[in-house]
Structure 1
Amino acid sequence: MTSIIVVSHSEEIAYGIQKLIAQMTEGVEVIAVGGSDGTIGTSFEPIQQAIEGLKDDALCFYDLGSAEMNLDMAIEMYDGEYRVEKVEAPIVEGSFLASVNISTGKDYGEVVEAVESEYR
């Protein structure tokens, strides 16, 4: 099954999305990475740790500039066995749509296509 990584400048937003998805869809792992040492911002290391700790393929969603930059760098440096892809979609709506598609049994490619086609 595909996992979702949510990277936000705000810890509350990242964990809020994780909580929303947990209440709305079953069986979808959402990894929340938010804030930077208790403040607003992003850090490369927690994003890299989330990606390095994956147990399955993952789709990644982000909110603002440095979240994307740090996520891109972490994906580029990842040399593990799972597919990890950044998805260009709004962080809340995109990750929620992905979770619904994952929970209904769609495969990785179908989930990416469903989300990206919605927000092109």
Structure 2
Amino acid sequence: MMEICVVSHSEEIAAGIQELVSQMAEGLTIKAVGGIDGEIGTSIDAITAMFDEVEDEALVFYDIGSSKMNIEMALEMNDYSQITIAHYPLVEGAFLAGVEMMLGKSKDDILESLKNNFKEKD
């Protein structure tokens, strides 16, 4: 089954989204990283470690610009062809994707649903 990865500048936001989606999509694997040493920020090392644990295909959602940049760098520096960046709202996008994953929808169908429901981030 597909997985969801969450990258946020805040450890608490990442954990909260992980908890929210886990409650609505029980049994789905949701990984989350956020913050650096209790402060605001994102770490390419933490993102890479999270991606190393992905066992299947995954959609990764992020909050703001530098988290996207760190995700892109992690993808460029490693062979993570099974991971797709979802350029959609972090909370709502991860929530919708999680529910649709539990319904057995394919990655392409989920991305189409995200596209139809939300404006893609720049």
TM-score normalised by length of structure 2: 0.92
Distance apart, 1:107 and its partner CA: 1.3
How many aligned residue pairs are there? 119
Could you tell me which amino acid in structure 1 is paired with residue 27 of structure 2? Answer: G
**Which secondary structure does the structure 1 equivalent of 2:16 belong to?**
helix
Which whole-Å CA distance do the structure 2 matches of 1:113 and 1:101 have between them?
11
Which whole-Å CA distance do the structure 2 matches of 1:6 and 1:96 have between them?
11
What residue is the counterpart of 1:35 in the other structure?
Answer: 35
**Which secondary structure does the structure 2 equivalent of 1:47 belong to?**
helix
Unaligned 5+ segments in structure 2 are none
What residue is the counterpart of 1:3 in the other structure?
Answer: 3
| Aligned counterparts, 1:1-120, within 5 A | 1-80=1-80, 83-120=82-119
Q: CA RMSD of the aligned region, Å?
A: 1.1
Distance apart, 1:9 and its partner CA: 0.3
Distance apart, 1:117 and its partner CA: 2.3
**Contact 1:88/1:116, CA 8 A, preserved across alignment:** no
Distance apart, 1:77 and its partner CA: 2.1
**Contact 1:61/1:88, CA 8 A, preserved across alignment:** yes
**Contact 1:8/1:63, CA 8 A, preserved across alignment:** yes
Distance apart, 1:116 and its partner CA: 2.2
Distance apart, 1:48 and its partner CA: 0.7
Could you tell me which amino acid in structure 1 is paired with residue 6 of structure 2? Answer: V
**Which secondary structure does the structure 1 equivalent of 2:33 belong to?**
strand
Moved runs in structure 1, 4+ residues, more than 3 A? none
Unaligned 5+ segments in structure 1 are none
Task: Report sequence identity in percent.
Answer: 47
Once the two structures are superposed, residues 33-78 of structure 1 have per-residue CA deviations (whole angstroms, 9 ceiling, x without a partner) of 1101111111110001111221111000000111110011112223
